[in-house]
Structure 1
Amino acid sequence: MVPPLYYLVPVLGGYAATSYYLLKHPHILQKRKRLAFHCRHISHRGGAGERIENTLEAFDNAVVHHTDLLELDCHMTKDGRVVVSHDGNLLRQTGHNVNIGDTTYEELPQYKQSLEVTFFPGHMSSGTDHRIPLLEEVFQRFPNKPINVEVKEDNDELIRKVSELVKRYQRTERTIWAATSDRVMKKCRKENPDMPFMFTPCRGVVLLLLYYTGLLPFVDVPESVVETYMPSIINRTYFPKPTLMRNRFLVYLQEKLIMRKSLFQHLQARGIQVYLWVLNQDSDFRRALDCGVTGIMTDYPSKLHTFLQEYEGQQRTRGAEAQNAVSDSDQQRTHL
Structure 2
Amino acid sequence: MLSSLYYLVPVLGGYAATSFYLLKNPHILHKKKRLPFHCRHISHRGGAGERIENTLEAFDNAVSNHTHLLELDCQLTKDGQVVVSHDQNLLRQTGHDVNIRDVTYEELPPYKDSLEVTFLPGHMSMGRDHHMPLLEDVFQRFPEMPINVEIKEENGELIKKVSDLVKRYRRADRTIWASMSDQIMKKCQAENPDMPIMFTPRRGVILLLLYYSGLLPFVPLRESVVETYMPSIINRTYFPHNRLMRNPFLVTLQDKLFMRKGLFKHLQDRGIQVYLWVLNQDSDFQRAFDCGVTGIMTDFPSKLNDFLHRQEDKHRTPEETQHTVTGDGVEMCRY
**Which residue number in structure 2 is paired with residue 53 of structure 1?**
53
**Which residue number in structure 2 is paired with residue 323 of structure 1?**
none
1:306 equivalent to 2:317? Answer no
**Which residue number in structure 2 is paired with residue 179 of structure 1?**
179
Mapped to 2, the partners of 1:313 and 1:16 lie a distance apart of 41
Mapped to 2, the partners of 1:40 and 1:316 lie a distance apart of 18
How many aligned positions are there?
Answer: 319
Mapped to 2, the partners of 1:312 and 1:204 lie a distance apart of 31
**Which residue number in structure 1 is paired with residue 9 of structure 2?**
9
* Partner SS for 1:199: coil
Letter in 1 for 2:37: F
**Which residue number in structure 1 is paired with residue 206 of structure 2?**
206
**Which residue number in structure 1 is paired with residue 283 of structure 2?**
283
Q: Following superposition of structure 1 onto structure 2, how do residues 1-336 of structure 1 map, counting pairs within 5 Å?
A: 2-317=2-317
Letter in 2 for 1:242: N
* Partner SS for 2:3: coil
**Which residue number in structure 1 is paired with residue 330 of structure 2?**
none
* Partner SS for 1:176: strand
Mapped to 1, the partners of 2:50 and 2:154 lie a distance apart of 30
Mapped to 2, the partners of 1:299 and 1:172 lie a distance apart of 25
Letter in 2 for 1:21: Y
Mapped to 1, the partners of 2:253 and 2:91 lie a distance apart of 35
**Which residue number in structure 2 is paired with residue 325 of structure 1?**
none
TM-score by length of 2: 0.94
* Partner SS for 2:72: strand
Letter in 1 for 2:149: V
Mapped to 1, the partners of 2:72 and 2:49 lie a distance apart of 14
Mapped to 2, the partners of 1:243 and 1:42 lie a distance apart of 28
* Partner SS for 2:315: helix
Q: Per-residue CA shift, 1:148-181, capped at 9, x if unaligned?
A: 0000010000000000000000100010000000
Mapped to 2, the partners of 1:135 and 1:96 lie a distance apart of 22
Mapped to 1, the partners of 2:304 and 2:79 lie a distance apart of 38
Q: CA deviation at 1:3?
A: 2.3
Q: Per-residue CA shift, 1:203-252, capped at 9, x if unaligned?
A: 00010010000000000001000001000000000000001100000000
* Partner SS for 1:3: helix
Q: CA deviation at 1:314?
A: 1.8
Q: CA deviation at 1:315?
A: 3.3
Structure 1 runs of 4+ aligned residues shifted over 4 Å read: none
Mapped to 2, the partners of 1:2 and 1:310 lie a distance apart of 60
Letter in 1 for 2:31: K
Q: CA deviation at 1:94?
A: 0.3
Mapped to 2, the partners of 1:276 and 1:313 lie a distance apart of 23
**Which residue number in structure 2 is paired with residue 329 of structure 1?**
none
Mapped to 1, the partners of 2:195 and 2:247 lie a distance apart of 37
Q: CA deviation at 1:316?
A: 3.9
Letter in 1 for 2:61: N
Q: Per-residue CA shift, 1:101-130, capped at 9, x if unaligned?
A: 011100000000000000000001000000
Q: CA deviation at 1:312?
A: 2.3
Q: CA deviation at 1:317?
A: 4.9
RMSD of aligned Cα (Å): 1.1
Q: Per-residue CA shift, 1:69-105, capped at 9, x if unaligned?
A: 0000000000000000000000000000000001110
Structure 2 residue runs of 5 or longer lacking an equivalent are: 321-335
Q: CA deviation at 1:6?
A: 1.1
Letter in 1 for 2:188: C
* Partner SS for 1:149: strand
Q: CA deviation at 1:2?
A: 4.9
Q: Per-residue CA shift, 1:232-282, capped at 9, x if unaligned?
A: 000000000001100000000000111000000000000000000000000
More helix by share: 1
* Partner SS for 1:228: strand
Q: CA deviation at 1:313?
A: 2.3
* Partner SS for 1:4: helix
Distance 1:264 1:316, change over 3 A: farther
Q: Per-residue CA shift, 1:14-51, capped at 9, x if unaligned?
A: 11111011111111111100001100100000000000
TM-score by length of 1: 0.94
